[in-house]
Amino acid sequence: MLNEDVKKILISQEEITDRCKQLAKQISDDYSGKVPVIIGLLKGSIPFMAELIKYLSIECELEFMAVSSYSGTESMGDVRILKDLDRSIKDCDVIIVEDIVDTGKTLQKVKELLYSKGANSVKVVSLLDKPSRRIIDISAEYIGFEIPDEFVIGFGLDFNQKYRNLPYVGVLKEELYKE
Ligand code: 5GP
């Protein structure tokens, strides 16, 4: 059973839904009269993006990109674009949806790329923030929850591609990834 691999639940499904409603209200107010292009970073942002957009009261367009930097539980440092956008975002107001901001390398790279493509503005909404691990001085404009330096899984976040379908954010049992 998937649940048996979880040491503890950090953020419940209900808490995530409540926070998504608040963030969506804030984003709808900030982007009133605009039609932002919301770009989900595959695959981790999918459950969060799906929940968040349900509560937006503004028009928006959805796009996806895939970048990679992680293998197992540690960052590889190098960020690669695995799937680029297949449309122009010139002069668009872009909102990146991310699962977690950790070292900040992914966001820095993606923001740079989107500005180089001519975006008018680029902001970030992230379900989680782990500020204690930051290497690059960057932060998301909209943050769901700040968490301590623990490896988390669920609600989009994986360990070796598994656990993304858990409906909450939890901490994985250490014996499952530490030798
Ligand atoms: P950054 O470039 O900010 O170091 O890393 C961002 C990416 O690292 C996230 O999109 C996520 O895929 C991965 N990541 C960072 N911390 C965690 C974590 O605690 N759990 C999981 N599952 N992935 C993480």
**Nearest-angstrom CA–CA distance, 107 and 83:** 15
Residue in the structure block whose two tokens are 């932002």: 36
| Contact between 3 and 167 (Cβ < 8 Å) | no
The predicted structure's pLDDT at residue 69? 72
pTM of the model: 0.94
- The alpha carbon of 102 and the centre of ligand 1 are apart by a number of angstroms equal to 6
pLDDT digits (tens, 9 = 90+) for 78-118: 788 899 999 999 999 999 999 999 999 999 999 999 999 99
CATH number, domain containing residue 56: 3.40.50.2020
Q: Rg for the chain (alpha carbons), in Å?
A: 16
| Ligand 1, residues at Cβ distance < 6 Å | 44, 69-70, 75, 98-106, 151-153, 157-159
In the chain, how many domains are there? 1
Give, using CA atoms, the residue closest to atom 11 of ligand 1: 100
* Signed CA dihedral, 11, 50, 47, 115: sign only: negative
- The fraction of the chain above a pLDDT of 90, given in percent, is 86
pLDDT digits (tens, 9 = 90+) for 116-148: 999 999 999 999 999 998 999 999 999 999 999
Closest listed residue to residue 130, CA positions, set 157, 161, 109: 157
Asked if 102 is an active-site residue, the reply is yes
Residue in the structure block whose two tokens are 């700040």: 146
Show the domain range for 101. 2-176
| Burial (0-12, 13-18, 19+ Cβ within 10 Å), 10 | buried
Mean pLDDT of 157-169: 97
